[in-house]
Structure 1
Amino acid sequence: MKQANFTNRELSVLSALNKEHLTTFQLLKRMDSVPMILKLYTILDELKEKGVVKSYMKKDTKYHYAA
């Protein structure tokens, strides 16, 4: 995985998801650089398109993790 392909915000999200599986809300609380949930969804979508983040549902809650 080349860091040059990722923005600072994407790297921040990836760093958090490398440590543990998190919900979108948990991610938002940890991301000082991402002030709005809609921006976080955009970042997650971009990371999914790059194939480095995946999601799953557990008890009606969506979790994200670094693939």
Structure 2
Amino acid sequence: METIKLTETELAVLNVIKEKPLTSFQILKQIDSINMILVLYSIMDELKGKGMVKSFVSDNVKYHCAC
């Protein structure tokens, strides 16, 4: 079994969205170490590639949740 290594910022994002799905803006407001939305999008892409995050759309709003 392969161990997945996560950065502190990736762990922070996962900890924020593990309780309930949030929008990108809600995640950005809760994590002080991420100050730009493009940085958050890069982190989300990395986490999706590792199979740790899923996204869905509800009422035309995109939410992210931990798998």
TM bin, normalised by shorter chain, reads over 0.9
**1:6, distance to aligned residue in structure 2 (A):** 0.2
Partner of 2:34: 34
**1:49, distance to aligned residue in structure 2 (A):** 0.2
Partner of 1:65: 65
TM-score, with length taken from structure 1: 0.93
Q: Which amino acid in structure 1 is aligned with residue 20 of structure 2?
A: E
Instruction: State the alpha-carbon separation in 2 of the partners of residues 20 and 59 from structure 1.
Output: 16
Q: Root-mean-square deviation (CA), in Å?
A: 1.4
Q: How many residues align?
A: 66
Which structure is higher in helix share? 1
TM-score, with length taken from structure 2: 0.93
Structure 1 unaligned runs (5+)? none
**1:19, distance to aligned residue in structure 2 (A):** 1.3
Instruction: State the alpha-carbon separation in 1 of the partners of residues 34 and 52 from structure 2.
Output: 19
**Percent identity, aligned pairs only?**
49
Partner of 1:55: 55
